[in-house]
A and B are shown apart, each in its own frame.
Chain A
C-alpha cells in the first residue's frame, strides 16, 4: 500500500486545514508506531504498511478520538 501515487501536498491544504490536527498527530506518532511494528516482524516495509493501516483506521473515527481523548495519554476504545 505504500506505492500508491499521491499528490505532493497534503490533502489538508485542499480542505482548509481541517485535517491539521490529524496530520500533526501522525507526524508526532509515526516514528514510534513504525518502530514498534518493526519489533514484531523485523521488516521495515511491513512495519510501514501496518502503521499506515493503523493511521487510516484512526482517521475514519478521528472526530470521536479527537473530541473524547487526551491523545497524549492512554488507552482508548473508540466506537465506530
Chain B
C-alpha cells in the first residue's frame, strides 16, 4: 500500500510539473467539447436555391415564396434551361434546383397530383438528404394550404403527428455533448497512459524500478490510479460545462453515471497499458493509440448510428468501449434509466476491464 501511495504521489508531482501535458489534460478538452458541440450540428441553413419556373403562375410564385421565406433556403439564381441548371449544379453554386413545370397551377386546382422536380446537388450525400427532406416538407405544406379544406374533406388521409421522446426539440447539443465529453476523455486517458509508461521505459527508470523490491502490480496500480483520477476530473468538468453552457438535461442519477464511469475507466487505462507493452517508442505509442482512437470515435454512434452499420461492423464494434459509454450517457442523462437498465452495460465493462488489464499485465511482465 505504501509503495503505491509513493508511486501515485510521484506521478502527480510529475503531471502537475509537465508544461506540455497539463494543458493537454485541462484546456484542450474544454476547447474540444465546446467547439465540437457547436460544430457537430445536423441543421443546415442558407441552402442555395436555383429556381426554374416554367409555369409563371401565381401558385408557382407562392411556392417559391414558401421556399425562400423559410430560413433554410436562399434564392441564388433564376434558371431558364436545363443546361444552366446542370452548370450551376456542376460548379457547386446551388444546392437545389426547384423545377416547377408548366400547368402546375392547373394541376393544383384539378384532382391531378401536381408534379414538381427537385434537382439536388449530392456532392455531400448527407446534406443532399437533408435538402430533400426540407424541400419535400415545404412542398407538402404548400399543397396542404393550397388545397385547403376542400380536398381534405373529399379525401381524408392519415396525418401522422410526430413526438420525439427524450429530446422533444431534437436539440443536437443535448445529444452530442455528453458523447463528446466521453470521447475526449477516453482519447486522453488511452494516450497519456500509453505514453507515460513508454516514456519511463525510454528514459530507463522502469529498469531502475525493476531492481528495487517494488512489485509489478504495485508499479501498474501506481500508474493506473492517477489517470483514473484524472479521467474523473475531465469527465465531470465536461459535464458541468455542458450543464452551464448548454443546459443539457440530467434526468437520471448522476451517482449511477459515476458508478459506470468508475468501472469504465479501467478499459481505456488497460488499452493504454496494453499499447505501451506492444511498442518501443513514444512515437509508436502515439500512432498505435490513434489507430484505435479513430476507430472508436467514428464507430461509437455519435456521428453515425451504430444500428445502420452492417452486422460484421456491429460485431467488431462490441469491442469499442466508447459505444457503451455514449449509449449509457444517453440512457442516464436523457432518458433517466436506472440501475436495472444500466446493469448489463456495467457487467460488460467489468468483463472488458478485467480482460484487457489481465492481457496488459501479462504482456507487461514479459516485456519489462
Q: Do A and B bind each other?
A: no
